[in-house]
Structure 1
Amino acid sequence: MVTFNQAKTEHDYQIVAKLADIIWREHYIPMVGKAQIDYMLEKFQSAEVIGKQSNQGYEYYLINFNTTPVGYISIKKEDDSLFLSKIYVLSNHRGKKIGKTALQFVEKKAKASRINNITLTVNKNNYNSILVYEKLGFKNIGPAVKDIGNGFIMDDYKMVKML
């Protein structure tokens, strides 16, 4: 059974940061390298930064499978869309429809706020995730390249799903 709990405490933020460290290192080091992942985890996914983001409109949710945290999502309302900033699941829990259930949760959040689309960015080399997003109704609307500092670039696609 998949459940979602909003991360609201320092303890919750530490769980999210620990999940990020495991998932990002495993999944993204082959794509962008260890140095960029070390930088991004510190700059964007430390417990301290997650707490600050939570005070700036980002909502983090732990994804639990049978009461065990196995991933997380982060969303933020932006004008007329809901930005899906993060959606990550531990590799040994993929293929159990947890990600699909998480996206359905995000869609319900958007609809409850009367928002008619969800946007996200995905690394251009993250082929499997791109295919999953397309299968779930997202459309690639073009490149989203961003300098994130320290000589690193996020080379992504922006995707949108109309609700």
Structure 2
Amino acid sequence: MRYTGKKELLFEQITLQDGRRVEELSQLASSVVKEVFDPMIGAEQNDYMIHLFQTVPAIKGQLENGYTYYMVKDASGDVGFLAFYPRDGMLYLSKFYLKSSARGRGYAGRMFDFVKEKAVEAGYGKIFLNVNKKNPAAAVYRHMGFQLLREEKNDIGNGFYMDDYVFLYQI
């Protein structure tokens, strides 16, 4: 845990042993993801995806399979979360979310600086991520220096697809 940068943020790593924090992460993730994606992809698909990716068992499974999760806190408490893992010789940024009340404060930039630090520490020169084609956050990633690598449509089951851009950042 540490506060860093101009925008006093704390990055708290969440591990399998942190049962209570995993539950709090799941609750935060579910509420933020619901707020962001219900209008974008519909509640039915979003609820399905939350079940696949943001429940306590899903997060525990991800932690067991190499994901690194961090809760992001400011003076008011938990304001966001992020997760990444090694994939294809790069760092894959799987989760990068802020509560709506914490947006517009420069936190996303500080969070991304933190991710870049972690990538360098782990020996990675590239970071990549998927973002829904309808997600306004795509403009934020471009602003941070990500370049469009490709588009992809992934079947996630139950008749649902993730229709994404894949962005790449070279450190």
TM-score tier, shorter chain, comes to: over 0.9
Question: How far apart are 1:80 and its partner, in Å?
Answer: 1.7
For residue 71 of structure 2, give the secondary structure of its aligned residue in structure 1. Answer: strand
1:2-151 correspondence to structure 2 within 5 Å: 2-8=9-15, 9-66=18-75, 68-126=77-135, 128-151=136-159
Aligned length: 162
TM norm structure 2: 0.92
The code of the aligned residue for 2:142 comes to: E
2:81 alignment partner AA: Y
Superposition deviation, residue 31 in structure 1? 0.7
SS at match of 1:14: helix
Aligned-residue Cα RMSD (Å) equals 1.0
Measured against aligned partners, the alpha-carbon deviations of 1:99-138 in whole angstroms (never above 9, x if no partner) come to 1111100000001111000000000001x21111011110
Q: What residue number does 2:170 align with? A: 162
Conserved 8 A contact 1:3-1:67:
no
- Unmatched 5+ stretches in structure 1: none
What is the TM-score when the length of structure 1 is the normalising length? 0.96
Q: In the TM superposition, what is the alpha-carbon distance from 1:79 to its structure 2 partner?
A: 3.4
Alignment partner of 1:125: what SS? Answer: coil
Q: Does the 8 A contact of 1:4 with 1:63 survive in 2? A: yes
Distance in 2 separating the partners of 1:56 and 1:45: 15
Q: How big is the shift at 1:144? A: 2.0
Structure 2 unaligned blocks of 5 or more: 1-7
Structure 1 SS opposite 2:47: helix
| Per-residue deviation, 1:67 | 6.0
Structure 1 CA distance, aligned partners of 2:115 and 2:57? Answer: 24
Q: Which amino acid aligns with 1:152?
A: F
> 58-67 or 33-42, which moves further after superposition?
58-67
